Amino acid sequence: MSTSFTSRTGLLVIASAWLLAGGCNLFLNDQLPATLPDFASATFSDPTRIDNAFFPLTPGRSLTFTADTPDGVERSVVETLAETRVVDGVLCRVVRDRVYLNDVLVEDTRDWYAQDDAGNVWYMGEEVDNYNYDASGVLIDITHEGSWEAGEDVAGRGSTAHPGIIMKASPAAGDQYHQEYYAGEAEDEAEVVATAVSVTLGDRSAYTCLQTRDFTALDSALNEYKYYAPGVGLVLEEDVGGGGRVELTDISGG
């Protein structure tokens, strides 16, 4: 955008406004949480080869998760694509996550991940399409709440989004870290609860899992345990307070 100034006084006024508005980006970014991983120190020689035992992403593989909700059956299909995308200077693997409620598409997301040379898997952002319907099931519109991209300010909040770690190379009980940080928009965190928890799903498949607790300062109601099996990845989510439960019900491809 090009702007003309008629006096030096006008320039100073505009500059002051910038410091209070767009310039607050600097202020906000100076107050990053201590649990935000140090992305600047990470190196990425082969970032789309994501073979972390608890978060493997093999192109062509698809995981299906199912949950019973008060509104009906929710099904999520998470597919690792051959597609890649450069985010904040790093080549990332694209993962598509489609959520259906009673077989009607309600969300279609493309997530971006990259693995550093130490084996940590970084979460670099997501593009979100939220499908909104009226009471008769007619599509009203598609919105994009929840979208963010490392190094960008996609919501125009005056702050830059920062990548976090979705899975550490060597998780240990007590670890706590941000999975993403975009002030006021995306502030998910995780802590490692245990590293060898027995899990049995509804189909009687059994795993020994890494257990994390995922939560966010933006919504105290979002507080859940996640269980990751070596060589598979996520197999179960459940509310910390009990009730909601999302299970892996199918693995295909890859």
* Residue-by-residue DSSP string for 182-227: BTTTB-EEEEEEEEEEEEE-TT--EEEEEEEEEEETT-TT-EEEEE
Give the Cα separation of 26 and 231 in Å (integer). Answer: 41
Of 214, 229, 223, the C-alpha closest to 241 is 223
- Mean pLDDT, rounded, for 207-227: 96
Instruction: Check whether 250 has a pLDDT greater than 60.
Output: yes
Of 121, 98, 109, the C-alpha closest to 48 is 121
Give me the CATH topology for the region 32-252. YmcC-like fold (2.40.360)
Tell me which amino acid residue 117 is.
D
Contact 94, 81 (CB under 8 A): yes
What does the buried/exposed string (b/e) look like for 174-210 if buried means 16 or more CB atoms within 10 Å of the residue's CB?
A: ebebbbbbbbebbbbbbbbbebeeebeeeeeeebebb
Of 71, 194, 178, 58, the C-alpha closest to 122 is 178
Domain boundaries along the sequence of the chain: 1-31, 32-252
Instruction: Check whether 14 has a pLDDT greater than 60.
Output: no
pLDDT, tens digit (0-9, with 9 covering 90-100), for 158-181? 999 999 999 999 999 999 999 999
- The pLDDT value recorded for residue 254 is 73
Tell me which amino acid residue 220 is.
S
The least confident of 51-55, 189-193, 219-223 is: 219-223
Q: pLDDT above 90 covers what percent of the chain?
A: 83
Tokens found for residue 189: 């965190």
The least confident of 17-31, 103-117, 181-195, 209-223 is: 17-31
Backbone dihedral region for residue 93 (phi beyond 0: left; psi -120 to 50: alpha; all else: beta): beta
Is residue 251 packed enough to be buried (19+ CB in 10 Å), middle (13-18) or exposed (0-12)? middle
Give the Cα separation of 233 and 92 in Å (integer). Answer: 18
Tell me which amino acid residue 168 is.
K
- The pLDDT value recorded for residue 243 is 77
- pLDDT band for position 204 (50/70/90)? very high
Of 168, 166, 171, the C-alpha closest to 113 is 166
